[in-house]
Structure 1
């Protein structure tokens, strides 16, 4: 019973001491002195009633020391708690700053992503434009190649044409210039005669190549070829027949005939002949017929080379 009463008194002292330590009202020395005084008073009051052995005092002292140690540890724990709270506040501030920085970084990242998207769009647009330009360049290159090919073809054609022109010039230079146009006479009526005569056209309008002889009235072919001949005759007599023959060498090949009813009627005809070099062509007035010509050139004879053969 004595020990139980002493232990109960000690517990009350510890409770009071802890309350004072938490409120900060007493220092460590005050607690010690108060506890000692309380313990002395309590023990003395108790010792007046009971007999306490020396072991109880030793246990009380040990308990007192333990209470003081626990009080100090509580104050140290409180200081540590305050330090931890300060550190927590600093950490929270750092976290807030980090969150703000993270938000700023997120905005920067979003802005960079947007700029990157814009750059990608621009790059894509530039690539599309580049493809279009490449297509145009390829088309232009194809057009240039086509123009070069066409130019080469034109140059080839021009060379061929120049060669053909040169050949034509050479052929033209080699081809004799054959053409004549003649009038019969300025003396009026010719004939009639008792025999067939060769008409000698004395008025020479043109005689390229000097192929017609006014002296003989004969055209002589300078080359083998195709020749064109035409003639016109007039007779001023009435009631007579007008007739002229075209001869190739000794052969009559063309005849013109007309009976004049009222006088001054003309006869015309033409022919293409294939002649060998040296062949002759001339007009013959038959026996008993006449022709008429004067300065008006009613009776004419014409011929020229169409092409050599």
Structure 2
């Protein structure tokens, strides 16, 4: 733009100079005189100047066209950039929404995880409490068979059966020498017992708690086969109470290596 202004200023100066020459100012010639050489020189100078001006104008026009093309390209690039920016902004908004959704899901998962951890911690505490209770809780269980000798009885008086074949005696509460179970702690206990006979006779036994008979079972074998009977009972015992099996007088039982008669018991829970 500065070059164009300079060119216009030069053109104005030349026009002013030409006008002064036509008026004869500064030549010293009288009015009516005609200088052929001066007119020729002036015409050549004006022609050269017009050519230069046209060249300058053409250069300015080419520059203007070039600038316009550049501006159009810049505008196109700007439009493309704006479109890309708009697309990027949309993508950024979409990413923000996805991140917000993901954050919400993560927060919900963390809350669930916290609740789950709290439940796990509570469950672990309950398990630990149960383990402590079980560790403090006495373990009592026994099971024993009567004998391998075969027939036992009948006798002329009641006798306490001594189950000498001990299979299990956790807590050592059962004494195979006396046949008596002694409660180590106050609690509720379960007992199971039976009788078996191959001879033609009455068979049966009785369950005693301390000195009280709690249950009696009996059966009569009238054939050449066998007779059997069984039962069970849950008893609440105090520490030191005893439980045992009695064979009534005139009753008989039979046991051998098949372990046909069993006396068992265990602690359900202490009190």
Class of the TM-score when normalised by the shorter of the 2 chains: 0.7 to 0.9
Aligned twin of 1:253 = 214
1:307–1:77 distance in 2 versus 1, CA, 3 Å:
farther
By how many angstroms is 1:211 displaced? 1.0
Aligned twin of 1:31 = none
Aligned twin of 2:177 = 215
**Greater relative CO (CA pairs within 8 A, separation 6+):** 2
By how many angstroms is 1:184 displaced? 1.0
SS at match of 1:110: helix
By how many angstroms is 1:268 displaced? 2.1
By how many angstroms is 1:91 displaced? 4.9
Contact 2:202 2:250 in 1 (8 A): no
By how many angstroms is 1:299 displaced? 0.9
The answer to whether the aligner puts 1:242 opposite 2:208 as a matched pair is no
1:83–1:261 distance in 2 versus 1, CA, 3 Å:
farther
SS at match of 1:164: helix
- Counterparts of 1:264-279 in structure 2, within 5 Å, are 264-279=226-241
- Counterparts of 1:168-183 in structure 2, within 5 Å, are 168-183=130-145
Unaligned residue ranges in structure 1 (runs of 5+): 1-67
SS at match of 2:184: coil
By how many angstroms is 1:305 displaced? 1.1
Measure, in 2, the Cα distance between the counterparts of 1:273 and 1:124. 85
Aligned twin of 1:281 = 243
Measure, in 1, the Cα distance between the counterparts of 2:78 and 2:184. 94
- Counterparts of 1:11-26 in structure 2, within 5 Å, are none
Aligned twin of 1:114 = 76
- Greater mean alpha carbon deviation, residues 194-203 or residues 177-186: 194-203
The answer to whether the aligner puts 1:230 opposite 2:202 as a matched pair is no
The answer to whether the aligner puts 1:196 opposite 2:158 as a matched pair is yes
SS at match of 2:156: coil
| TM-score, structure 2 normalization | 0.73
Measure, in 2, the Cα distance between the counterparts of 1:71 and 1:272. 160
Measured against aligned partners, the alpha-carbon deviations of 1:115-172 in whole angstroms (never above 9, x if no partner) come to 1122222222333333343344444444544454444444434433433333222212
- Give the structure with higher Rg (CA): 1
- Counterparts of 1:41-56 in structure 2, within 5 Å, are none
The answer to whether the aligner puts 1:99 opposite 2:61 as a matched pair is yes
SS at match of 1:111: helix
By how many angstroms is 1:79 displaced? 9.3
By how many angstroms is 1:235 displaced? 0.7
SS at match of 1:277: coil
Aligned residue pairs, count? 241
By how many angstroms is 1:80 displaced? 8.3
Measure, in 1, the Cα distance between the counterparts of 2:242 and 2:118. 45
The answer to whether the aligner puts 1:292 opposite 2:233 as a matched pair is no
Measure, in 2, the Cα distance between the counterparts of 1:256 and 1:292. 15
1:71–1:219 distance in 2 versus 1, CA, 3 Å:
same
Measure, in 2, the Cα distance between the counterparts of 1:232 and 1:173. 33
| TM-score, structure 1 normalization | 0.65
- Greater mean alpha carbon deviation, residues 84-93 or residues 105-114: 84-93
- Greater mean alpha carbon deviation, residues 278-287 or residues 227-236: 278-287
The answer to whether the aligner puts 1:302 opposite 2:264 as a matched pair is yes
